Amino acid sequence: MPIGGAEDKRGACTILNHFVQCSGSSSAHLVVIPSASSFPQEVAQDYTRIFTALGAQQVSILHIPDRRYADHAANLGVLNEATGIFLSGGDQLRLMSLIGGTRLAEALRSRFWNGVNIAGTSAGASIMSRQMIGFGRSGDTPSQRMVQMALGLGLTDNLIIDQHFRQRRRLGRLMTAVALNPGLTGVGVDENTALEIHPDGAWQVIGAGGVTIVDSSGLEYSDIYAAKRHDPLTLRGMEVRVLLGGEQVMSLPSPSLRSA
């Protein structure tokens, strides 16, 4: 469940409440990983308070100070008890620099494939895909050097997830990311909005905004290999559509979470 950042934490908490309900409700044991943030203690306290108020039975914090910690199995035991895992915002490249290639990354994938619910907001949404947007520039027109790709956690091989989408004008960078990764599907999640991806492939948008889909399944031509630096790209057959809250889509081009 990628969340586009800035989810409501004071009012109805629709998205966070939904996460708690889907993770076992009053018997939920949630693990919060706040380490994408440069203020992990504050972030951990905030989510502990909110999830507890929303009725979760237990909230544990798994903060990763360094790579060695993330690679030490004894530190990861708390994940075995988790019914839901929450990845905070911050900087996705910071988090992947801490956990990429470690036992923690393996454990998160393994828990996910065993059916544990994983939600992430902002940076925590970005890192869900294997082909991850590390950072990039704002703007509506795709251009060659607009985005820097890096390795994500890899809960999905087929999607590229972006966040704060409409608020930070990220259509250009998501289209560029898809042009660099043809065949993948770009997913741009607005603030205070979440995309719930069910194991059966159904997608459901929750919250105040929308989710923009950049679908390259019909891509006919891309000149990303020829465009220089800040040149705009020529892309033919790349389709952009927007899903709003409540819409349910059963047959997106690459719904499977784990490709061949």
The site for its own copies (CB under 8 A) is made up of 66-68, 91, 93-94, 96-97, 100-102, 105-106, 109-110, 130-131, 134, 145, 148-151, 179-184, 216-217, 219-226, 237, 260
- How is residue 59 annotated by DSSP? E
Q: 29-33 and 185-189 as β-strands: parallel, antiparallel, unpaired? A: unpaired
- Say which of 35, 191, 216, 222 is annotated catalytic: 191
Q: In this structure, which amino acid lies at residue 120?
A: G
Q: Residue 255 Cβ, how far from its own copies at the closest point, in Å?
A: 14
> φ and ψ at 4, to 5 degrees?
-80, 15
Cα separation, 257 vs 109, in Å, equals 11
Strands 203-207, 248-249: pairing is antiparallel
Please state the closest distance from residue 99 (CB atom) to its own copies, in A. Answer: 8
**Cα pseudo-dihedral 246, 250, 254, 255, rounded to 10:** 80
Give the end-to-end CA distance of the chain in Å, rounded to a whole number: 22
Query: Closer to its own copies at the Cβ: 44 or 105?
Result: 105
Catalytic residue among 18, 88, 164, 196: 164
Q: Which C-beta is closer to its own copies: that of 248 or that of 259?
A: 259
Task: Tell me if residue 164 is catalytic.
Answer: yes
Q: CB of 87 within 8 A of CB of 64?
A: no
Residue with Cβ nearer its own copies (9 or 67) = 67
Rounded to whole angstroms, how far apart are CA atoms 188 and 60? 29
Minimum CB separation of residue 121 from its own copies in Å reads 18
Closest to its own copies by CB, 39 or 49: 39
**Distance of closest approach, residue 237 Cβ to its own copies, in angstroms:** 8
Give the Cα separation of 103 and 67 in Å (integer).
10
Cα 225 to chain centroid distance, Å, stands at: 27
Q: Which is nearer to its own copies, 83 or 144 (CB)?
A: 144
Instruction: Report, in Å, the least distance between residue 232 CB and its own copies.
Output: 16
Active-site residue, from 23, 37, 88, 122: 122
Catalytic sites, residue numbers: 122, 164, 191
